[in-house]
Chain A
């Protein structure tokens, strides 16, 4: 990031693209496309969606599922990462299992989860949780295994018991990287939540977008798309700000 000075210039490109799109749609001559709408119509649909609360309600539904899954999967990944990072023998024991399960795309579990949970939050949360485990596990494990060996010696020389060693040395040392993992997992959680909604689950932003598409309202569909982008962007910016506040001092 090169600061605020670059912002006007950086905004010039998207602004020009939007104008070009608007112009093309209008000059294209009465295009009533099923897939496209001019930016002005998208903006109107966005304003209406925000005004009547439908976008906000859908956002809350998606975020609830995404955050629920993130917490569940993130906690599991964190725990396993801590365990595997501190006890290498355990990591070796489970490595083949983990390497076999990890590449399974989370969305490939939709049919299975559908049988188990039916439509609704539990379906979506379980899929998101599965996807969120891996970034947390992999990053936490490597962060914990990479704790400065000198600090481990300091802990040994002071005879810190295992709990204190984890809580006072290992976890704080690994925390900045664990937080990066959490940010990644949060991004993944949002993507997977919306994907599950688009694919099967009748709730949230993904479902709203699919409905707009199927009822031939392209402006509304694109408004959803823009809004999903905004939600993802805000999420990332907020987590980055937290990261900078929490770890900026000594990193």
Chain B
């Protein structure tokens, strides 16, 4: 099988500004890739290229061997600002339903699917709540449920837990690992939290700014399943953490 995500010499110039340059990347099926780098280096832009929300000015992005020219339904995007990415006038069930409607799922088949999806993210009891009545963590779970409704081959996440407190974040990290473990999706995960990148990923990619380019690709050799306490105490985790911190220090210098 072809690599689900491949970028070949991808470059992007917007308004005369070079934003990304010479990005070459292959991401293995079912793997979890984390992207780190200083603020403004182009992490979000890279993710949007993979999503097909932006098209490259050079090179090409491929998913499953075909060139990306527009967003695809088998590629789901979890945005950081869940508060803006949910429909405030729809309940949790209604928000999940939006994806099912887009997928062309018959109305009769939707309620069961919605129940199942909300159950998978722990929101079974909250199907009738509006986003405004939910905590940040619940809203982000809801957005993840909507993405899972797309039954995505590829899950793109842009700092999904950046706005959440540490406890909620750790809980969601484990939930995401379990969910993608079940679904076998390939994950592309942007974060500015280096420990999060090491904890979640199979690979961590380090970007450098001006223009955004790949400077580092680190394989994470930590056993799965990961554990919030045990994994973070492993010497390999500490070594990775050190390596990523050093990278960021030089990147920001």
Task: State the A residues within 8 Å of B (CB).
Answer: 148, 150-151, 153-154, 156-160, 164, 168-169, 172-173, 175, 249-250
Contacts and interface: CB of A to CB of B under 8 A. Distances in A.
A153 B53 contact: yes
Contacts of A154: 77, 79, 85, 98
Contact of B84 (A150, A156, A164): A150
A169 B102 CA distance: 12
A158 to B, nearest CB: 4
Interface string B66-108: 0000111101110101001101110000000011011000000
Interface in B21-73: 51, 53, 70-73
Given A150-B85, A151-B84, A250-B130, A158 B72 contact: no
Contacts of B75: 157
A150 B53 contact: no
A157 B71 contact: yes
Per CB-CB distance, the 9 closest pairs between chain A and chain B, nearest first, are: A158-B102, A150-B84, A250-B130, A157-B71, A250-B88, A157-B77, A172-B89, A150-B85, A148-B84
A250 B89 contact: yes
B98 A153 contact: no
A173 B132 CA distance: 15
B200 to A, nearest CB: 22
A157 B79 CA distance: 11
18 contacts: A150-B79, A150-B84, A153-B77, A153-B79, A154-B98, A157-B51, A158-B71, A158-B73, A159-B70, A159-B71, A164-B102, A168-B87, A168-B101, A172-B87, A172-B89, A173-B89, A250-B131, A250-B132
A250 B139 CA distance: 14
Instruction: Indicate the member of A154, A172, A249 with the most B CB atoms within 10 Å.
Output: A154
B191 interface: no
SS class, residues of chain A in contact with chain B: helix
A164 B79 CA distance: 21
Contacts of A159: 70-73, 102
Nearest to A175: B89
A79 to B, nearest CB: 22
Contact of A156 (B71, B79, B89, B130): B71
B140 interface: no
A158 B132 contact: no
Nearest to A149: B84
B150 interface: yes
A143 B31 CA distance: 42
A246 to B, nearest CB: 10
Given A172-B87, A250-B89, 15 more contacts: A148-B84, A151-B84, A154-B85, A157-B76, A158-B71, A158-B98, A158-B99, A159-B70, A159-B102, A168-B98, A168-B101, A175-B89, A249-B130, A250-B130, A250-B131
A249 B132 CA distance: 9
A168 B87 CA distance: 9
Contacts of B70: 159
A156 B71 CA distance: 7
Contacts of A169: 87
Contact of B87 (A151, A153, A157): A151
A54 B112 CA distance: 59
Contacts of B72: 159
A6 B81 CA distance: 41
Residue with the highest number of chain B CB atoms closer than 10 Å, among A153, A158, A168, A172: A158
Given A157-B53, A157-B76, A151 B85 contact: yes
B101 A164 contact: yes
Contacts of A160: 102
Contacts of A153: 53, 77, 79, 85
A172 B79 CA distance: 21
Nearest to B130: A250
A151 B70 CA distance: 17
